[in-house]
Amino acid sequence: MTAPESMSTAATATPATSEPITDRATLIAAGGAAKQQPAPDKKRSSRLADDRRFKIFCGSANKALCEEVCQFLGVPMGQTKLISFSDGEIHFQLLENVRGADVFLVQPTCAPVERHILELLIMIDALKRASAGRITVVIPYYGYARQDRKDRPRVAITSKLVADLLQTAGANRALLVDLHAAQIQGFFNIPVDHLFASPVLVGYFRDLNLPNLTVVSPDAGGVERARFFATKLGVPLAIVDKRRTDINVTEVMNVIGDVKGRTCIILDDIVDTAGTLTKTVDALLANGATDVYACASHAVLSGPAVERIKNSNLKELVVTNTIPLSEEAAQVDKIKVLSVAGLLGRAIESIHMETSVSTLFS
């Protein structure tokens, strides 16, 4: 199999088109459309700009986020050729020297999950075979994170499998954002830095200065995350007791805590089909809440999610750009997107300079 003559680069790739580059290949799409977002933290005079050992590349899953990170750091995005043959096979080539370099590879494993995971593995393999000094995978959204244990007989622990695949491909380090379960870090035998988007979200709601706030965890598993959020805002915490009746189906049971006359902020790590979210909104309003906002790190928004959000009594859903919004979601005024480019940029710089990342947790 020979690669087509025409090339695309990470910095200039365009959305997929019906017109082939050759008879066998087309460009891989850059990912979903993104709603206009606030600019990341102001570009700094980066120590990395003249560091030839530092390289940053991205796959097709979220080019816009990688471009923001590069802008924040004041460095160019690495040049690559990433194409898909007509039979679906992926072809990847580095277009610059990475021998001995400290490489950061940005790729959330969002939908289509299998393609983006395989793409990431192929890119890691190419970097390893090109003698990169260290390969850090920057995965803003870690797909399969919810399959982290055997909750039923004869099921796979796919989250562990993905970690194994990344390491087998040649990753030396991982930088992750808001894992569904923090214990997933233990699936890796390489160093893992686990960032939280909470500081970005807290800052947004602090600036809104909403009255009579209460932070709400939509389930018992998210209490620790919600408690941190509530503590930072200096407001009380409530919990919604829910029972999951089937996959992607939940039934809200009752609200633990006083929400009457309060403005509630539901905090979760993922909004998927939005079933839990909309039922939680209804439960809070039924218990006397005046307004309900929601925020989440990862806007998966699959299936009926967008329609549910549009038709809900939710005041606003605040998410981050770990996953690019679909065109449909980008049209919804209730959905607000915040950028984590500054958070990722500071972490990447700290890892490269061998300084502490823990200051980003405050």
Report pLDDT digits (tens) over 103-152.
999 999 999 999 999 999 999 999 999 999 999 999 999 999 999 999 99
**Is 282 annotated as a binding-site member?**
no
Q: At what angle do helices 198-208 and 223-233 cross, to 10 degrees?
A: 40
Please pick, among 42, 242, 334, 336, the residue that the annotation labels catalytic.
242
Q: Does domain 198-338 have CATH number 3.10.310.30?
A: no
Query: What pLDDT is recorded for position 297?
Result: 98
* Architecture category of domain 54-195 in CATH: 3-Layer(aba) Sandwich (3.40)
Residue 36 pLDDT > 80, yes or no?
A: no
Percent of all residues in the chain with a pLDDT value above 70, rounded to a whole number: 85
Residue linked to tokens 């030839």: 52
**Is 146 annotated as a binding-site member?**
yes
**Is 345 annotated as a binding-site member?**
no
- Range with top average pLDDT, 19-28, 42-51, 78-87: 78-87
Whole-model pTM? 0.86
Cβ-based burial of 335 (10 A; exposed 0-12, middle 13-18, buried ≥19): buried
**Is 167 annotated as a binding-site member?**
no
DSSP string, 231-293: HHHT--EEEEEEEEEETTEEEEEEEES--TT-EEEEEEEEESSSHHHHHHHHHHHHTT-SEEE
**Is 275 annotated as a binding-site member?**
yes
Length of the chain: 362
Query: What pLDDT is recorded for position 24?
Result: 37
**Is 194 annotated as a binding-site member?**
no
DSSP state, residue 185: G
**Is 272 annotated as a binding-site member?**
yes
CB-CB contact of 187 with 159 (8 Å): yes
Residue 78 pLDDT > 50, yes or no?
A: yes
**Is 219 annotated as a binding-site member?**
yes
Query: What pLDDT is recorded for position 358?
Result: 87
Q: What is the dihedral of CA 37, 41, 45, 47, to 10 degrees?
A: -100
Q: Worst-scoring range by mean pLDDT, 184-188, 305-309, 333-337, 358-362?
A: 358-362
**Is 156 annotated as a binding-site member?**
no
Question: How many angstroms separate the CA atoms of 313 and 348, rounded?
Answer: 39
Query: What pLDDT is recorded for position 47?
Result: 75
Copy the structure tokens of residue 235.
Answer: 């407001």
**Is 107 annotated as a binding-site member?**
no
Question: How many angstroms separate the CA atoms of 340 and 68, rounded?
Answer: 9
Judge if 54-195 and 198-338 fold alike in CATH terms. Answer: yes
Q: Domain residues of the chain, as ranges?
A: 54-195, 198-338
Distances (CA, A) of 245 to 252, 276, 280, 298: 10, 11, 15, 23
Copy the structure tokens of residue 240.
Answer: 């919604």
Q: Is 1 helix (H, G, I), strand (E, B) or coil?
A: coil
Backbone angles phi, psi at 201, to 5 degrees: -70, -40
**Is 87 annotated as a binding-site member?**
yes
- Let me know if 279 is a catalytic residue: no
Residue 245 pLDDT > 80, yes or no?
A: no
Residue 290 pLDDT > 50, yes or no?
A: yes
Residue 198 pLDDT > 60, yes or no?
A: yes
Strand order in the sheet with 316-320: 249-256, 237-246, 213-217, 263-271, 291-299, 316-320, 335-338
